[in-house]
A and B are shown apart, each in its own frame.
Chain A
Amino acid sequence: MFGREFYIDPSRCIGCKSCMSACEECETHRGKSMINFDFIDRPERIATAAYVCFHCEDPTCAEVCPADAIKRGLDGIVQSALESRCIGCSNCVLACPFGIPKMQVAEEQMMKCDMCYDRSSTGKKPMCATVCPSQALTYVKPETIRRERREQPTNVFYFGNQRVTTKVFMMVPEDAGAVSVDVVDYMWEGRP
């Protein structure tokens, strides 16, 4: 929106959780952080990673929703489940290949990152990408990311045989291309 896109580079993350603190300030889900944060393996290393929703072009969460509660707007933003429709079944939580949606038990509603819809729809940057001290989460124009970073953005992911294209970009090494997380993605057998 407004010419800017969201980029995630976990290799820059310092684990400060500023994104989570700032996410709580979002007007659409006050007091609740929608950031997915991991200490990758704290006993072994310091690496951490923070993620927002990747906002898929064909959102798996919406495809599996029996109540048709999850909508993707023309701007590409996949919203939290509609309060009036969500039946709290958690299908989306189980199906999302990125593990993003969160079931709010008290509200019986799935909530997730909506890219600070109140902010990004009016030209502001999402909270997390604004405050992130390492800019592991950043929201800039594509030409800016190409000019300033060594890593390249990609928005094509393979999960087994599922190819997922997303609105949010992941920064990967220059020669990486698409991101795959499964050995089968590198195998000949079963390729479509």
Chain B
Amino acid sequence: MAKLPASLDRLAAEFGPHLNFTPAGGWTNESTHPVDRLVKTHCCFCGQQCGIQLKVRDNTVVGFEPWEEFPFNRGMLCPKGVKRYLQSGHPDRLLDPLMRTDQGFRKAGWDEALDFTARRLGELQAQHGKDAVAVYGGASLTTEKAYLMGKFARVALGTRHIDYNGRLCMVSAGTAYKPAFGVDRSPIPWSDIPRAQVLLVIGANVGECAPITTSYIWRCRDNGGKLIVVDPRMTPITRNADLYLPVRPGTDLVLLMGMLHIILRDGLEHRQFIAEHTVGFEEVAASAKPYDPRSVAERTGVPPEAIERAAHMFAKADRAIALHARGLEHHSKGVENCSAVINLCLATGHLGREGSGCAMITGQGNGQGGREHGQKCDQLPGQRSISDPAARAHVARVWGIAPEDIPQAGLSAAEIMEAIHRGEIKGLLSICFNPLVSLPDATYTREALEKLEFFGVIEFFLSETAQHADVVLAGSLQEEEEGVVCSTEGRVLHIQKAVDPPANARGDASIICDLARRLGKEKYFPYHSVREIFDELREASRGGIADYYGITYERIDEEMGVFWPCPSAEHPGTPRLFEGGISMHPDGKCRFLPTPWRESGDPVDADFPLYLTTGRVVSQYLSGTQTRRIGALVDQYPEPRVEIHPRLADSLGIAADEWVRVTTRRTEITLQASVVKTIRPDTVFIPYHWPGGRSANRLTHRTLDPRSKIPEFKVSACRLQKASAPGAAVPAGVR
């Protein structure tokens, strides 16, 4: 049973989160001594994957030095990157495998923990079928580990059900880009951004979630470029926007269709590009007809003249780029939202040239690479479709199994949790995923976790989700294992091993291979090093869409990264896709795709009249498993607050810093108010990095985009009430 083995207070006392403020040895003593070496690698956090040099002494990361030669960030780092080294030597670090007891967890040896894990997974599969166990992976894993998880699930366990936390990140964009262009990757290298004359940033809090991209946007403005920002909140980059469109949550699609309507009405479309490089224009053009500026303004809350201006700026520019992120993707119509951006670029011919195109800004560290090589429930390595017989045959050959032994597509991440809740999936092995904080409707997630008959996790800190585990396998931090990642630009980078895992913790890859051996599948997992996994991955990706065959660790180091596709050792890599407007579809054409309107899965009404939207703050990362343990980052934004416009606050009698109860159709939480004029008065915002009574995801709902299966984090209906006492509404035992 996966109920909590001890009280939250007791678990917190033992496993944290505790705050680490100082480097190993203290600020003024040992930490100032010379270091053993500087290791050129990349940040462990977001999809920017900034280059950084880690200072290493006595097998501990004790500090950092900017890496100014690395071209993407040239030494720049956000506060998370600056303080990332404080997770090394952290007091909460798991140093041994743990087994659940009646009172909490006890340390165990590796043999006991791995034997138990393999035995329980095997028992559940023998009793209930192969698909009774599922595997969760994560997009902070290196690509080798992501590849290994996909192979482990399908070959060692034989289950259909492997998916990953990237399902909460940018799958809507990938699901839109692949049918439009034949590939799921941002079409442009970031060096194109300063070359644009107009930037349309829609649903992307660049300043806080992709901070280094700010410098690219500012350089675009330095060059005379104009900035259009579309967001219900004035995020930090809005301070320099030439045009700000305060879109009502959930209506981005209407706004984008309105822009297309104006472009077509005024004859600003790029007829030659449309004729030569696209198919499907007529249907999409016809669908834009009803979106006249007046009705679009009424639905989106954006003035008609602002929509007109945005459309004209974007279409009339010789070079324009549309950047989008989770604000566009976290919707039950997230795919349609992204398709509408693509349609806008295709209609105006903004593609395949320097300074022109569309780009999704990756959220997670390996958000791009983590979804390319078989960790997704419906894909095999190389971005191959798992239902494609040729793809199955190729990958089966590389794996040394029969094509029919590769299971078919399984359930996506949120659907796996629902199948657990229904009792269909009874066992779960998870790595690099904290669904109790990151999945919507956290109360439901906790119920599901409590129903698991076996729950094993591979973790370096005991996350809120891992507290429910039967066995915890002490794995590795990013800096403790070599591998590659793919950054937001499609640049494959080399993560260097800076230190060994401490004490009895182990590299994740070796843990997975040991488990495979105990499941009797040793011969399919014969690796002696991560490099051997990468070499197999290259072969598995060969000839696929995300072709890594020509990429080696040595080339990455020499060339400061290699952009895929890179099919051979001689191939220079592909920084910009679709040069000359040629897509990766067999006919070379780009596809306009229809974008029918759908209501939100949690619509506002008289009882729940306000929009709740969630997101991130600059000092925290995802579910906070790492960043809620780093003192300076916690001090910067200690607790989640609910952002409210003064007009709304006044109407409810709420003053700054007062406590507010936020209620949705799921439950309620109570937080302090930030009363600011930088958010729409019909919208409230809560960052989601925290668990328990402070968890924004207790409020969000489980509606998924029907194709990408992404949850609708960006729109929930809610109401507010002034609260007298902090946390009074939180049930006992839930923090």
Interface string of A108-135 (1 = CB under 8 A from B): 0000000000000000010100111111
Interface presence of B212 (CB below 8 A):
yes
Shortest distance from the beta carbon of B32 to any chain A beta carbon, whole Å? 6
Complex CA distance for A20 and B79, rounded to whole angstroms: 8
Complex CA distance for A44 and B222, rounded to whole angstroms: 26
- Give every chain A residue within 8 A of B77 (Cβ-Cβ): 18, 22, 131, 133
Determine whether the beta carbon of B678 is less than 8 Å from that of A131: no
Shortest distance from the beta carbon of A118 to any chain B beta carbon, whole Å? 10
Complex CA distance for A16 and B656, rounded to whole angstroms: 22
Determine whether the beta carbon of B82 is less than 8 Å from that of A131: yes
Interface presence of A152 (CB below 8 A):
no
Most chain B CB within 10 A, of A12, A44, A48, is at A12
Determine whether the beta carbon of A25 is less than 8 Å from that of B63: yes
* Of B75, B237, B632, B656, the contact of A131 (CB 8 Å cutoff): B75
Q: How many residues of A contact B (CB 8 A)?
A: 33
Beta-carbon nearest neighbor of B207 in chain A: A14
* Of B21, B28, B75, B211, the contact of A130 (CB 8 Å cutoff): B75
- Give every chain A residue within 8 A of B718 (Cβ-Cβ): none
Beta-carbon nearest neighbor of B636 in chain A: A17
Shortest distance from the beta carbon of B475 to any chain A beta carbon, whole Å? 27
Interface presence of A43 (CB below 8 A):
yes
Determine whether the beta carbon of B32 is less than 8 Å from that of A45: no
Given A11-B240, A15-B207, A21-B632, does the pair A132, B76 have CB atoms closer than 8 Å? Answer: yes
- Give every chain A residue within 8 A of B235 (Cβ-Cβ): 46
Interface presence of A24 (CB below 8 A):
yes
- Give every chain B residue within 8 A of A135 (Cβ-Cβ): 76, 215, 218
Complex CA distance for A14 and B632, rounded to whole angstroms: 18
Determine whether the beta carbon of B636 is less than 8 Å from that of A133: no
Within 8 A of A (CB), among B22-57: 22, 27-28, 31-32
Determine whether the beta carbon of A134 is less than 8 Å from that of B82: no
Determine whether the beta carbon of A14 is less than 8 Å from that of B22: no
Complex CA distance for A20 and B78, rounded to whole angstroms: 10
Determine whether the beta carbon of A31 is less than 8 Å from that of B22: yes
> Chain B's interface: helix, strand, loop or mixed, by majority?
mixed
Q: Size range of the interface on B?
A: 35 or more
Interface presence of A150 (CB below 8 A):
yes
Shortest distance from the beta carbon of A12 to any chain B beta carbon, whole Å? 5
Determine whether the beta carbon of B79 is less than 8 Å from that of A17: yes
- Give every chain B residue within 8 A of A17 (Cβ-Cβ): 79, 618-619, 636
Interface presence of A30 (CB below 8 A):
yes
Given A27-B32, A43-B677, A46-B234, does the pair A18, B222 have CB atoms closer than 8 Å? Answer: no
Determine whether the beta carbon of B211 is less than 8 Å from that of A46: no
Beta-carbon nearest neighbor of A22 in chain B: B82
Interface presence of B672 (CB below 8 A):
no
Determine whether the beta carbon of B239 is less than 8 Å from that of A130: no
Interface presence of B690 (CB below 8 A):
no
* Of B27, B83, B208, the contact of A14 (CB 8 Å cutoff): B208
Shortest distance from the beta carbon of B234 to any chain A beta carbon, whole Å? 5
Determine whether the beta carbon of B237 is less than 8 Å from that of A14: yes
Complex CA distance for A24 and B236, rounded to whole angstroms: 24
Given A18-B79, A18-B82, A31-B28, does the pair A47, B239 have CB atoms closer than 8 Å? Answer: yes
Most chain A CB within 10 A, of B78, B239, B240, B675, is at B239
Beta-carbon nearest neighbor of A43 in chain B: B676
- Give every chain B residue within 8 A of A131 (Cβ-Cβ): 66, 75-78, 81-82
Determine whether the beta carbon of B236 is less than 8 Å from that of A14: yes
Within 8 A of A (CB), among B426-465: none
Determine whether the beta carbon of A16 is less than 8 Å from that of B78: yes
Interface presence of A148 (CB below 8 A):
yes
Determine whether the beta carbon of B66 is less than 8 Å from that of A130: yes
Interface presence of A149 (CB below 8 A):
yes
Shortest distance from the beta carbon of A130 to any chain B beta carbon, whole Å? 4
Interface string of B65-78 (1 = CB under 8 A from A): 01010000101111
Determine whether the beta carbon of B239 is less than 8 Å from that of A133: no
Determine whether the beta carbon of B215 is less than 8 Å from that of A44: no
Determine whether the beta carbon of B239 is less than 8 Å from that of A11: yes
Determine whether the beta carbon of A25 is less than 8 Å from that of B64: yes
Determine whether the beta carbon of B632 is less than 8 Å from that of A24: yes
Determine whether the beta carbon of B676 is less than 8 Å from that of A18: no
Beta-carbon nearest neighbor of A12 in chain B: B218
Most chain B CB within 10 A, of A24, A46, A148, is at A46
* Of A20, A30, A149, the contact of B32 (CB 8 Å cutoff): A30
Most chain A CB within 10 A, of B82, B215, B237, B646, is at B82
Interface presence of A42 (CB below 8 A):
yes
Determine whether the beta carbon of B238 is less than 8 Å from that of A46: yes
Given A25-B63, A43-B675, A43-B677, does the pair A133, B236 have CB atoms closer than 8 Å? Answer: no
Beta-carbon nearest neighbor of B85 in chain A: A25
- Give every chain B residue within 8 A of A127 (Cβ-Cβ): 66
Beta-carbon nearest neighbor of B211 in chain A: A133
- Give every chain B residue within 8 A of A21 (Cβ-Cβ): 79, 82-83, 632
Complex CA distance for A11 and B221, rounded to whole angstroms: 12
Determine whether the beta carbon of B618 is less than 8 Å from that of A16: yes
Shortest distance from the beta carbon of A46 to any chain B beta carbon, whole Å? 5
- Give every chain B residue within 8 A of A11 (Cβ-Cβ): 239-240
- Give every chain A residue within 8 A of B79 (Cβ-Cβ): 16-18, 20-21
Within 8 A of B (CB), among A9-64: 11-12, 14-18, 20-22, 24-25, 27, 30-31, 42-48
- Give every chain A residue within 8 A of B236 (Cβ-Cβ): 14-16, 46, 48
Within 8 A of A (CB), among B223-280: 224, 234-240
Shortest distance from the beta carbon of B425 to any chain A beta carbon, whole Å? 40
Beta-carbon nearest neighbor of A129 in chain B: B75
Shortest distance from the beta carbon of B216 to any chain A beta carbon, whole Å? 10
Complex CA distance for A176 and B95, rounded to whole angstroms: 59
Beta-carbon nearest neighbor of A31 in chain B: B27
Give me 7 other A-B pairs in contact (C-beta within 8 A), A46-B234, A148-B219 excluded: A15-B236, A16-B78, A18-B77, A25-B63, A27-B32, A42-B674, A135-B218
Some 6 contacts from A to B, beta carbons below 8 A apart, are A21-B79, A24-B27, A42-B676, A46-B678, A48-B236, A130-B75
